[in-house]
Structure 1
Amino acid sequence: MGKAVTPQSLSSPQWAGPASLIQPPPQPGPPWSHPDPPRPGPTWRPDPPRPPHPGPTWRPDPPRPGPTWRPDPPRPPWPDPPRPPWPDPRPPRPPWPPHPGPTQGWPKELTLTVAKTSVPPFRPRVVRLRCDPPYGSHPRAAEACALLNRAQGDPDRIRARQEFCRRDYDPVKATATGVWNRRPIRYERTFSNPCVMRNATGAVFSF
């Protein structure tokens, strides 16, 4: 049997281990006499002020010249091609036979009327014409008498003029009543517009 180990035996020199395993009891240190010396403050310093920025180097673009567009010159009016004259559906009438005997001093008086037949109807215009010598309320009595003398007082026998007229529908009604060299005259006709009437009768109904 081996020898028993007791606390006294452990304190003997033969059981002494390395010095690192045997720690002495803590010794009380010297009493604290003063704090740590103050540490120097930070060495950071604010940056020096920067000079002001010279501002942006952008500059506006120079003004551009205006547009070179110019309006087109005015164009001449579109030419309206000439239209053929309005055909007269009536057959030509034979001339009046010569009147026997002298006609000097016989009456040549007509009452001429022009009225528009549109709705509402306009008030008709009425003039009186007397020839040899020409006078009356007709504004172109001399021209009207010259045409009626060649047509022997019948407006339907006046030679129509060949002038261009628009085909606008504005009907007018022309009438002539009276006496010409002791012969009664009764004329009535409706035209499509005043221009056609003036081409057919000349100055007789131009008032």
Structure 2
Amino acid sequence: MRHRIAAVSAAALLTLVGSAGAAQAQPAGLYAPSAVVLAVSPGEDPAAVSRAVVLSCAPTARGTHPAPEEACADLAATAGTLDALLASPDPDRACPMHYDPVTVTAEGVWQGGRISWKHTFSNACAMSATLNGNAVFAF
């Protein structure tokens, strides 16, 4: 089942990127391709995907992400450095000190360049507190 989710997400990403590539009657560089598969996995193994979405941001925000416009804006604010998503955890949120890891990944193309990013949080509360107010992994 997990492999099927990953395969479906990868196929959806290729469809989005492929359809953007087929529509290159426009001048090159007008819209740099931006399509990523975002995934959340229990544990430290990113291959054990529990949920995933596809997000395409150029020329318009679309995909299976529930809030594509907000997620694209949050990704754009990182200027391609997804570690910036981790910059401001909610200081008012206390999380338990138990280890039940959750891994998030982003794979695809962002503004014409290939991205592959992974981060493992100690538990779901730490993930939520760190990504507080960010729509990228809010699915």
TM-score, normalised by the number of residues in structure 2: 0.64
SS in 1 for 2:73: helix
For residue 173 of structure 1, the aligned residue among 103, 108, 112 is: 103
1:166–1:130 CA distance, 2 compared to 1 (3 A): same
- Bigger Cα displacement from structure 2, 104-113 vs 191-200: 191-200
| Aligned-residue offset at 1:140 | 2.0
Partner of 1:116: 42
For residue 153 of structure 1, the aligned residue among 80, 83, 92 is: 80
Cα deviations across residues 8-54 of structure 1 (Å, max 9, x unaligned)? xxxxxxxxxxxxxxxxxxxxxxxxxxxxxxxxxxxxxxxxxxxxxxx
Partner of 2:119: 189
Separation in 1 of the partners of 2:80 and 2:128? 17
Separation in 1 of the partners of 2:95 and 2:129? 12
Separation in 2 of the partners of 1:131 and 1:123? 22
Structure with the larger RCO, 1 or 2 (CA within 8 Å, 6+ apart): 2
SS in 1 for 2:129: helix
Partner of 1:144: 71
Partner of 1:89: none
Bigger proportion of residues as strand: 2
Q: Say if 2:35 and 2:57, in contact at 8 Å, map to a contact too.
A: yes
TM-score, normalised by the number of residues in structure 1: 0.45
Unaligned runs of 5+ in 2: 1-27
Separation in 1 of the partners of 2:68 and 2:79? 16
Alpha carbon RMSD of aligned pairs, Å?
2.4
- In our comparison, the structure showing a higher alpha carbon Rg is 1
| Aligned-residue offset at 1:130 | 0.8
Unaligned runs of 5+ in 1: 1-101
Q: Say if 2:40 and 2:49, in contact at 8 Å, map to a contact too.
A: no
Q: Say if 1:113 and 1:175, in contact at 8 Å, map to a contact too.
A: yes
Bigger proportion of residues as helix: 2
| Aligned-residue offset at 1:123 | 5.0
Separation in 2 of the partners of 1:162 and 1:123? 26
Q: Say if 1:135 and 1:141, in contact at 8 Å, map to a contact too.
A: yes
